[in-house]
Amino acid sequence: MLFAAAAAFLLSCGLGILYWIVVQHAFEEDRAVLADKILAVRADLRSSGGPKLVHEELKALRGGDRAAYFVRVIDSAGQIVAETRGMNRWLPREVFAGAPNPREAKSHSADYQAGGRLFSLVSAVEEMNGTRYDIQVAQDRSEDEKFMKQFGFLVVGVLACGILASAVIAVTVTKRGLRPLADMTGSLKRVGPNRLHERVPPEEWPRELQPVAVAFDDMLDRLEDSFTRLSQFSADLAHELRTPLANIRGEAEVALKRPRSPNEYQTVIESSVAECARLSGIIDNLLFLARAEAAESKVQLGLFDGRAAIEKIAAYNEALAEERRLVVSCRGAGEVFADPILFGRAVSNLVDNAVRFTPDDGRITISLATDPAGSEVTVEDTGCGVAAEHLPRMFDRFYRVDPSRSSEGSGLGLALVKSIAEMHNGAVAVRSEVDQGTRVSLKFPNRSATEPSVA
């Protein structure tokens, strides 16, 4: 409707200006002709023929009802010297009392109506040989007035048709332009948890709206991916929680079937405590990941000795490594700009994975390298390795290379490492080959790249 209103306003202004120009032009022409007639009569009066010449000329002109112009000349005695035939019937001399002079007639004229006819009047005074002459000139503008009325009706008709046409065009164009939005609305209404594959084909949209369609499709892609991950996460979480709970319940039910010795009860309780500790670890890791994604965890950044940190982690795992005759070594030195606690947690998870999946008599190497861009910690082992098809999902929550989930751990360790790296604006990468070992690199940027993102 705004388009129709704007079109009607512009059309009204345009036609109004056109009408005003046409009317003003016609009036100006008529006034100019009246002034010229006065000048012509004056010239005749000044000629050798004088009033007699004017009388003869007016007598020769057509008069009566069909005359376009009327001229009257009155001397100082009040006698009519010359007059267009039939003028007195329509225009008595008294009506010229307020008529403008020739100079004023160029800007305005006096109008007079008689017998359904419209006249424009102008008068002048001419003195010659001591005699004063009043010159009265009138123009019949009835046809002009009729034309103006018809032209006005035409303008109003064109304006009405234009407004109607603009309204029809506006409605048609609006409906056609909004049709893609209606299609999009229909597509979006069909979107649901079980219909996230719905898409809005951008090629069917006008060029101006194609970016909107692409943006909606991208949003739906992200939603579909998020829902898929959420469904998988829910299934994995249920499985992870069900196993320790089933173990606790099963051992308790077996223990209650008949009286047991104190040692047997103690064994059952110790097993339940271990399963509860496993559950607590899963919950703690999930809470940490959730807070990291919501940017609720604060990162306490600072410079610390990276060599001392990795040696401490190696020493913590030394006892378990010695049981399996694993060699854990540290290389490199330098300062690291990160949260010391989160740094230790991330590297400890990597070393724990390496110890768990490296066969006896293997080797685990923790390397530290620094440069102006930041620092990089690498944990490399001589373990069983991982097939290439598993590498893209290594850092997903609860993802395990062994689908039977027979291995220890909750499948959250590498996901936690990735979250810690992202909290530092860093990155984590993995490279592995079957039976050749695995190499995981954790990068921490320097102060200038890390500080702006700290909450």
Cα 99 to Cα 120: distance, rounded to the nearest angstrom: 9
pLDDT in tens, 192-244: 777 777 777 777 677 777 787 788 788 888 877 777 767 766 666 676 677 67
Q: Report residue 445 as tokens.
A: 């940027």
* Confidence bin at 7 (pLDDT 50/70/90): confident
At residue 291, the pLDDT reads 65
pLDDT at 22 over 70: yes
pLDDT in tens, 151-187: 788 888 888 888 888 888 878 877 777 777 777 777 7
Please report how many Cα atoms fall inside a 13 Å half-sphere around the Cα of residue 425, on the Cβ side: 15
Structural domains of the chain, with CATH: 2-149 (3.30.450), 207-293 (1.10.287.130), 302-453 (3.30.565.10)
pLDDT in tens, 90-134: 788 888 776 666 666 555 567 777 777 888 788 888 877 777 888
Cα 117 to Cα 269: distance, rounded to the nearest angstrom: 122
Mean pLDDT of the residues in the chain: 78
Left (φ > 0), alpha (ψ -120 to 50) or beta: where does 100 sit? beta
Type of residue found at 434? V
At residue 308, the pLDDT reads 93
Cα 348 to Cα 346: distance, rounded to the nearest angstrom: 5
The burial of 3, by beta-carbon neighbours within 10 Å (0-12 exposed, 13-18 middle, 19 or more buried), is given as middle
Q: What are phi and psi of 219, to 5 degrees?
A: -65, -40
Q: How many H helices and E strands in the chain?
A: 12, 12
At residue 97, the pLDDT reads 73
